Structure 1
Amino acid sequence: MQLTPTGADATTPAAGLASRVFDRLDARLEFNVERPVVLALSGGGDSMALLDLAALWAARRGRRLLAVTVDHGLNPDSGRWNAIAARAAAAVGVEWRGIRWEGPRPSTGLPAAARAARHALIADVAREAGARVMLFAHTSSDVAEADWMRARGSSLGRIRAWAPSPAWPQGRGLMLLRPLLPESRERVRTYLAERGLGWVEDPGNVDPRYARSRARQDLAAVGAVPVPPPQPRAIRGPAPKVSAIGIVQLSRAASARTLATAAVCAGGGSRPPRGERLTRLLVRLAAGEDFTAAMCGARIEALGPRVTLMREAGEFVRFPPTPQVAKAGGRLIWDGRFELATLAAGTRVVAAAGRLAQLSPQDRLSLTRLPAAVRPTLPVLIREGSTAPVLAGRAGDARCLVGERLALALDETTHETGLGDALHGAKPPDPLFSL
C-alpha cells in the first residue's frame, strides 16, 4: 500500500520520498501496538523531515511516537531551538520530551562527547518509555561526510540503516533505524520545501573547527554526490556461539566485523578496536597460529580451529570496574556484561578476582566447570554487614548480556518483533549456575 502526505500529488518528489520511507518503516516496525517508537529530533532539516514522515506513518499504522530533543548547552540559542522542536512535534500530534546534557565538558573531542551523551540520554528515555526502536535522521550525505573523516584519521563507526544503539549499557536491547539513510540531504530539503516546513540551521555546521563541518564544505566544493551506503557484508564462517556466562566461540574464518564485535561484547565495553590491531590478529588467525591475546578488554584464545573470547581478568587490575551498590528492588549493570536484579539494598557487586578462595564450597564447585581464566571475571556479591562473597548467579538474579548484545550487533534480529521483553528486563533472568 502506497502512502503519501495528505493532499500531496503522488508524482511529486515529496510523495516519492514518503513512499520509500514508509516502505522502510513497514519493513522493520510493528503495526497497531501501544509500545512507542522514539524519534531523535534535533530541529535540523533532516530530523524535521523525519518527524513529518514518521508522524504520518504512525497515524496510519497505529503506533505512538515520542520525539526526544537533547539540549547540549553548547549554543546560546539552544533554548529557542528546543522550543521550535517542541512546537513542530505538537503540530503533528507527537509527544515531545526535552533533555539537557549536564555535567563537565571535555577540553578536546567535544563533538564526539556530545554525540555519545545524546545517544545515551535518548536511550535512557526510550527504555523508560518501553520502546524498542529509535529513529534517527541520518542521510547518505552523513555517510559521505563520515567516510571523508575516516579517510583523515577519524575513528567514527560506519553508519548503518539498522543497528544497535551505540550507547552502552544505556542502549541495551534498543535498535536504531535510519529510514532516510539511502536519501541525500538535497532530496530531504526538497521534501521540506514541498511540505512548507522549516528547520533550525546550526551554525556549527559551517564552523571549520569541527571535522564534520570541514567534510561538508569540502564535499560541497568538489560537487561530490552522496551514494547510498553499502549493505552489510555477509558474516563468514559459522555463527558465533555464546555461553550463559559470556564466553564466545568463533571459527578462524570469522570476518573482521565479527571478531571486532565479539571482542567488544565479551569485554563489556563500547570502543571498537583500532584497525591495525584487528588486522594483526586476523593475519595470525588466517595463518593457523595458536596464541593468546587481549583486545577491547577481552581475552582471545586461538587453539586449533577454535577461537574463544572471554573477559580478560588482567583488565580488572588496569581498569577496575566502578564499585556498585544495589538499591532496594533496583537493577544494575555490572562490567557491561551482567544485569543483576532483586538484590538486597546495600549489596556490593565486585569481581571474583582475589576472592575465589573465600567463596563457599558449593560456589567453588560451580566454578570448577568453567575455564580457569574466566572465573575471576565473574560478579560476586557482598551483602551489607558481611565480608563473605557469594557467587552472583546463585545469590540473586543475574543475566549475562553478551549473547543478546552480539546477536543484535551481527544483524541476527531484523525486525522489531524480534526484540523481546527479555531485553528490557521484563522476564526473570536465567540463573547463571546450577548444580
Structure 2
Amino acid sequence: MQLTSASAATAAPDGGLASRVFDRLDARLEVGLDLPVALALSGGGDSMALLDLAAIWARRRGRRLLAITVDHGLNPDSARWNSLAEQAARARGADWRGVRWDGPRPSSGLPAAARTARHALIADVARAAGARVVLFAHTQSDVAEADWMRARGSSLGRVRAWSPSPAWPQGRGLMLLRPLLSESRDGVRTYLRERDLGWVEDPGNADDHYARSRARRDLTARGEGAALTPALRPIRGPAPTVSSTGVVRVSRAASGRTLAVAAVCAGGGSRPPRGERLARLLVRLAAGEDFTAAMCGARIEAVGPVVTLLREAGEFARHPPGSPVAPSGPVSGAVLVWDGRFELSGLPAGTRVAAAAGRQAQLSPADRDRLGRLPAAVRPTVPVLIREGSPAPLLAGQAGRVRSLVGQRLALALDETTREADLADAPHGASTPDLLFSD
C-alpha cells in the first residue's frame, strides 16, 4: 500500500484534463439543482482525481456532491483507506457515506461478486439521497484491461461514458457517468502529482490471482491500452414499444444489443444473455423464421416482422419471485419492487405481493375481466395483492399504486436519455403511462 500526501493544492485547475472533464460534466449534468451528484470513491488514484475535479465543478455549478465508499472487507487496511477517503471528501466540501459489504464470499468469482455488491450498495445510498447520476472514475486503461480479459474468455461487460446502473432493482432510474473514460491512467496520475493529492495503491492490483491484475501487467509491459472500445452498433429499425404490463415489441431487424436489452428488461433480471445464445437467435431472425424461444427469463415470440418479449411463465414458475410485504406503521413512502418488473407504493400495511398464477379464479369478476384482456401468457405473471384479513386477492393497481419498470429501464439502456434533465419527469421508476390497470 502506498499513501501519498493528503493535502490538496488550493488553486483550482483550469485547462488540460480539468477542462475536458468539466466539459463532459457540463454536457450531462444540470446546474443549480438541489439534488446531489453521487460519486463512487474507492480512495484509489482515479477516484481521488475525479473527486477533486467533481468537487471543483460542483462548487462552480451550484451542486452538492456525495462521495460513497464501499468497504468490501477484503483487506485489513480497508478501515484506514475509508478514513482517507472520508477526509479527502470532506476537505473538498463533499458529503460522504461509507457502507460495508457484509454478504457471503463466494469460493470463486470473488471480484465479480464484489463488483456486483459495490454497485448495489452505491445505488442504494445514491437513491436514498435523491441522486440521479453517479460518477465513476473508469479510465481508458480500464477499458483496455476489460478488452484484454474478454479476449481470454471473460464475460465482463463493456463500460460506456453514460449508461444505466447495472444494479437491479437497486439502481433503477440511476445513470452512471464516467468523465475520465477517454483519459489514460498515467495522465490521471500526472494530475494527482501536480495537485499534490494523495491516493491508495491497493496491493490487490498486483496480485496475479486476479485477471484484472494480469491484464494490467501485460498491457503495461507492452505499452498498450490507449485504444477505446469501438462504439456499439446503432439501434436499427423502429423504436421498441412497451405495454403497462411490461410486454416489449421490437422489429425483427433490431440489433443484437436491442434484443439482448429487451430480453433482460422483459425478464426482470440483470444478467445479459450469453453471446452464443444471442447469436443463434439473431441467425434465426435474419432467416425470417417464426419461432418461440426463451432467454434471460423472457419469452421471445417471433412472428412476421415483429418480435414480442414478455415474462416467460415457465421460468417464472420454476423460480418464482419473492413475496414482499408492505411494512407496518407509516407506509406512505414505502416502495416495493416485485419480480424486477413492477414498483408498488402506497399499499396498506401488511399487504403481500404475489403472482396471479394459481389465484385467477379467486379474483373478483371485475378483476378477472381486467386480467382476461391480457394475452394468456401474460396473465400468470402479473402481480396481485394479498391483504391481511381478506381471503380474496386483489389485482395490483386496485389498491395503492403499481407501475411497470420495464419501459423506463429499456429507454435508459438504449440511450434514449442523454442528460440528467431527461430523468426529471420519472425519477427512479417508470413514467406515468406505465401505471398498471389504471382504468
Q: TM-score, normalised by structure 2?
A: 0.94
Q: How does 1:81-96 map to 2 (within 5 A)?
A: 81-96=81-96
What is the identity, as a one-letter code, of the residue corresponding to 2:341?
A: R
Mean Cα displacement is larger for which, 201-210 or 319-328? 319-328
Distance 1:427 1:182, change over 3 A: closer
Partner of 1:394: 398
Distance in structure 2 (CA, Å) of the matches to 1:213 and 1:82:
22
Partner of 1:110: 110
Partner of 1:374: 378
- Compute the displacement of 1:317 (Å): 2.1
Distance in structure 1 (CA, Å) of the matches to 2:231 and 2:60:
29
Mean Cα displacement is larger for which, 123-132 or 351-360? 351-360
Distance in structure 1 (CA, Å) of the matches to 2:380 and 2:357:
4
- Compute the displacement of 1:193 (Å): 1.1
What is the identity, as a one-letter code, of the residue corresponding to 2:410?
A: L
- Compute the displacement of 1:386 (Å): 2.7
Distance 1:165 1:16, change over 3 A: same
Contact preservation (8 Å) 1:73, 1:100: yes
Distance 1:225 1:115, change over 3 A: closer
Distance in structure 2 (CA, Å) of the matches to 1:152 and 1:427:
41
Distance in structure 2 (CA, Å) of the matches to 1:208 and 1:106:
19
Mean Cα displacement is larger for which, 412-421 or 33-42? 412-421
Distance 1:247 1:224, change over 3 A: same
Partner of 1:197: 197
Distance in structure 2 (CA, Å) of the matches to 1:9 and 1:83:
25
What is the identity, as a one-letter code, of the residue corresponding to 1:320?
A: P
Contact preservation (8 Å) 1:392, 1:398: yes
Q: Which 5+ residue runs of structure 2 have no aligned equivalent?
A: 1-8
- Classify the secondary structure of the residue corresponding to 1:20: helix
Distance 1:427 1:152, change over 3 A: closer
Q: Which 5+ residue runs of structure 1 have no aligned equivalent?
A: none
Tell me the number of residue pairs that the alignment of Structure 1 and Structure 2 aligns. 427
Provide the aligned C-alpha RMSD in A.
1.6
Partner of 1:355: 359
- Classify the secondary structure of the residue corresponding to 2:176: strand
Contact preservation (8 Å) 2:144, 2:228: no
Distance in structure 2 (CA, Å) of the matches to 1:431 and 1:40:
33
Distance in structure 2 (CA, Å) of the matches to 1:146 and 1:176:
18
Q: How does 1:292-371 map to 2 (within 5 A)?
A: 292-328=292-328, 329=331, 330-371=334-375
Distance in structure 1 (CA, Å) of the matches to 2:289 and 2:275:
20
Partner of 1:170: 170
What is the identity, as a one-letter code, of the residue corresponding to 2:311?
A: R
Identity of aligned residues (%): 76
Distance in structure 2 (CA, Å) of the matches to 1:75 and 1:160:
29
Partner of 1:147: 147
Contact preservation (8 Å) 2:406, 2:430: no
What is the identity, as a one-letter code, of the residue corresponding to 1:244?
A: S
- Classify the secondary structure of the residue corresponding to 1:314: helix
Contact preservation (8 Å) 1:251, 1:306: yes
Partner of 2:419: 415
Distance 1:33 1:427, change over 3 A: same
Contact preservation (8 Å) 1:394, 1:432: no
Contact preservation (8 Å) 1:173, 1:419: yes
Partner of 2:209: 209
Distance in structure 1 (CA, Å) of the matches to 2:59 and 2:411:
31
Q: How does 1:114-153 map to 2 (within 5 A)?
A: 114-153=114-153
* Alignment deviations for residues 46-100 of structure 1 (CA, whole Å, 9 cap, x no partner): 0000001001111111111000100010000000000111111122111111111
- Classify the secondary structure of the residue corresponding to 1:31: coil
Partner of 2:5: none
Partner of 1:289: 289
Contact preservation (8 Å) 1:397, 1:428: no
Distance in structure 2 (CA, Å) of the matches to 1:19 and 1:233:
29
Distance in structure 1 (CA, Å) of the matches to 2:126 and 2:426:
15
Distance in structure 2 (CA, Å) of the matches to 1:434 and 1:192:
54
What is the identity, as a one-letter code, of the residue corresponding to 2:182?
A: P
- Compute the displacement of 1:148 (Å): 0.8
Partner of 1:18: 18
Mean Cα displacement is larger for which, 302-311 or 87-96? 87-96
- Classify the secondary structure of the residue corresponding to 2:47: helix
- Classify the secondary structure of the residue corresponding to 2:239: coil
- Classify the secondary structure of the residue corresponding to 1:215: helix
Q: TM-score, normalised by structure 1?
A: 0.95
Distance in structure 2 (CA, Å) of the matches to 1:374 and 1:302:
16
